[in-house]
Chains A and B, each alone.
Chain A
Amino acid sequence: MIIAGIDLGSTAIKLALVADGQLLWHKAAPTAPGQEKIADNLLTEGLAAVGRSGETVVRAVTGYGKHLLVGADRVIDELTANRLGVCKASDGRARSLINIGGQDVKVIRLSAKGQMTGFKMNDKCAAGCGRFFEVAARILDTEVGSFATLAANAAEAARINSTCAVFAESEIVSLMAQGVVKENIIAGLHQSVARRIAGLCAGGALEDDIYLDGGAAQNPGLVHALEDELCRDLHVLPLPQFTVAYGAAISAAMADSAAAKNSS
């Protein structure tokens, strides 16, 4: 049986095709109107890519848009999907995870058995989230993908006081007007976001080993800044953007397995 884990996030729609607990295929597309159609297209593309078009697929949906997908076989809350995905992908080593999503940051504490024992989330503003980097990238006219390289070449990180996406925008414009180079601004952005996330992790929210996921975890510059701010090492899984979609699929597989046990 193929399970499609679909994470309808605020900035990207991620799809992971899973069979027998193994990830077969994955892809992301930017979130746009018509999320159901985008998810369907990803699914069709994925099934064709793995040569299993026409097979019955269980659709397990999570993310902010999870209720928008009509006819989903399973709807899973984001933190459960996230926990399962990271636990499975880390072979059960994860004891804490930090997910930097498009519009929020989640810090989840896990037991040795992978159960969620506590969590923290930022409030509704997009400060310190993926969207914040997108806003900064637009102002700096630079791809987010090149942030890490540029930050590595910074002579010194610019001080960015505001983590509010709106106020930071004017602060970045002001720094550019003062002639501060892009590299220093980006390094400053990483520090600023890392400080905010570290604030959320305060008060015993983290256990070792700590895993970082979400799209922003693909930015090594941010990972280094966060390690520096937390004074801890962070692990980043190979596909950090897909752990939630993967976890949704794992959750559906577990539910089906439990249902099969009960009926036998």
Chain B
Amino acid sequence: MNEPSRQQRLTIKTQGEARQEYAAAADWLRQRPDYHQVFDYFLEIAGQAWTAAEVSERTGRPVVQHLCNQAPLEIFHAMGLQPLRLASGCCAVSRLAEAGLPALMCPMLRSAIGAQRVQAQASRVLARVIPTTCDWTVKFQELAVALPNDLQKNSSSPPVHLLELPHQRHSERGQARFQEELFLLIDFLEQKIGRRLTRSALLTSVNLYREAWAVLESLIALRRDGRLAAAWFAAICAAFLFDSIERWLTAAQTLVSYLQNQKVRPAARSVFLCGSPIIFPNLKLLRLIEEAKMYVAADELCASERLWPGGMAVDDRSVSGLIRALAGRYHRACQCPTFADNERRFNSVRAVGLPLKGIIYHVLKGCHPFDIESLTMERMAREANIPFIRIETEYSPEDARTILTRLEAFANIDHGASA
């Protein structure tokens, strides 16, 4: 038997560290006073890194990996596929990607690439669907294939479909192009699975996800009035990204019933969290915000509240009608900072309708679109007299104390005082 190479040893070691990182985040949640067994399902799913093979086995569906929020989940589901988000909040696996990638790279995608390297089981990914959002996302596949899996010899990358995203979502031309893109995505997936998308399957999936969006909306309302901490919301969203919608929906409905019977706890220092995605087990900023005695009552993070694309109006139940309606939600209503016309994103902060201590704007180092839009958001916040703090960080915990100092000061700042 051949000795493992140095790289294989590092990969195996990293697997162990990653497991510990996930377990530590889940254990921290279990030890909180607001823990209840109703959260166990979410901790089970969020508390470990699932391989595509494991997800496929658990859900009984072939897996399609995808990035970002623009590929309608209803389409995957209607075609009998399990969408699995290519996203990782794990710091440990990042080092497996560091050597072969640009130094100042989006930490989330670096971690996602690192996570692909530690998957020991043979890949059971039918395809990858990548919406062309930011530069890192567009180049994801190129970067990912440069770093082969160390534990699966002869592994090959799954076929990729680039879902071209028109970056002007309010233009009719952009909207028409995106609808066309969705039809091309369907063609691609039909070729992969060898059967057609049917109207009834799509309608069933649209209705199923409508239920999920309604539950997500209820959960959002529960966090507004202090009954659902941000760290729990992160676990709930991670489960949404990594498990079947049916299982998630059942568990989330139970959770909503439980939380609705809990006391409303209006938070004295409610904040709105904006910016780069926060994905389990990267709870660093959420923990520090709590430590600074603030409560995240709302956010607009793409792997959190923005998973909910908003209510969908279906006036035509043909496949074309349903696709048009989906395109409207997943493109026109999306607030990704890669869009050129994004006023709606800023308005969403104003529309939250809460007395806010302020806006905490999270920028992952190397996450350029959110970094760029932080300037506009800050200006908007100043104009609206909303306190604003920008926290630039990465997955590593080394800057935690410095960030805490800033957050504590932000919590104690007297924004009512005239300067």
Contact = CB atoms under 8 A, between A and B. Distances in A.
B419 interface: yes
A117 interface: yes
A64 B401 contact: yes
A107 B397 CA distance: 24
Interface residues of A, number: 22
B409 A78 contact: yes
Nearest to B291: A67
Contacts of A108: 409
Interface stretch (B107-115, B200-208, B276-284, B410-418): B410-418
Interface string A208-234: 000000000000000000000000000
B385 to A, nearest CB: 12
Contact of B413 (A64, A78, A117, A121): A117
Given A77-B405, A123-B392, A123-B402, A207 B412 contact: no
A34 B98 CA distance: 36
Interface string A99-114: 0000110101101110
Contact of B417 (A77, A106, A111): A111
Interface string B387-414: 0000010000011011001101111111
B418 A119 contact: no
A64 B405 contact: yes
A78 B412 CA distance: 11
A80 B419 contact: no
B419 A121 contact: no
Contact of A116 (B392, B398, B414, B418): B414
Nearest to A80: B412
Contacts of A174: none
A124 interface: yes
B418 A79 contact: no
B406 A121 contact: yes
B216 to A, nearest CB: 35
Contacts of A80: 408-409, 412
Contact of B402 (A109, A111, A115, A124): A124
26 contacts: A64-B401, A64-B405, A77-B292, A77-B408, A77-B412, A78-B405, A79-B408, A79-B409, A79-B412, A80-B408, A80-B412, A103-B402, A104-B402, A104-B405, A108-B409, A109-B419, A112-B418, A113-B417, A116-B413, A117-B418, A118-B419, A119-B413, A121-B406, A121-B409, A123-B392, A124-B402
Interface of A: 64, 77-80, 103-104, 106, 108-109, 111-113, 115-119, 121, 123-124, 207
